[in-house]
Amino acid sequence: MAAFKCPHCHEETLSLKDKYRLGWWATINCQQCDGRVTAFPWTLMVISMLYLWNLMWWVGLVHFKHSYHYLGYLLVCWILLDLLNIYFMPLCRLKKKIPG
C-alpha cells in the first residue's frame, strides 16, 4: 500500500494517508528506519496560503454576490490543491529528537 519514498532510507514506506497528513504541517516517522519526515516548509507554506486564499475568495464572493455556484469552484480548487499536496509536495528529513 505504501507508495512514497522516505527521504532517509529511500524505500517506499510512506502511505497515501501519511503523505496527505504531511501536507497539514504534521511529522511522521518512517516505519522502516524510524526517521522523522515532514513536508518541505517553504512549499508547504505556499500551498497553505493557497488553501486560505481559496476559502477566503469563496466566502467573499458568496457574501457579496449571494450565489452558491461558486461552491463548485471552491471544491474543484480544493481537490486540485489536495492533489498538489499529495503528489508534488517534496519531503524533507528531520533530525532525530534529542532526549531531554
Q: Per-residue pLDDT tens for 1-19?
A: 558 888 888 888 888 888 8
Number of domains in the chain: 1
The label of the residue with cell 492533489 reads: 83
The label of the residue with cell 493557497 reads: 50
**Entry pTM:** 0.73
Report the candidate in 94, 86, 99, 85 with the shortest Cα–Cα distance to residue 29. Answer: 94
Q: Per-residue pLDDT tens for 52-65?
A: 888 887 777 666 66
28-46 in b/e form (b: 16+ CB < 10 A) is bbbeeeebbbbbeeebbee
Q: Is the pLDDT of residue 46 over 80?
A: yes
DSSP string, 29-62: E-TTT--EEEE-HHHHHHHHHHHHHHHHHHHHHH
Alpha carbon of residue 57 to chain centroid: 20
Instruction: Tell whether 99 is covered by a domain.
Output: no
The boundaries of the domain holding residue 45 are 4-94
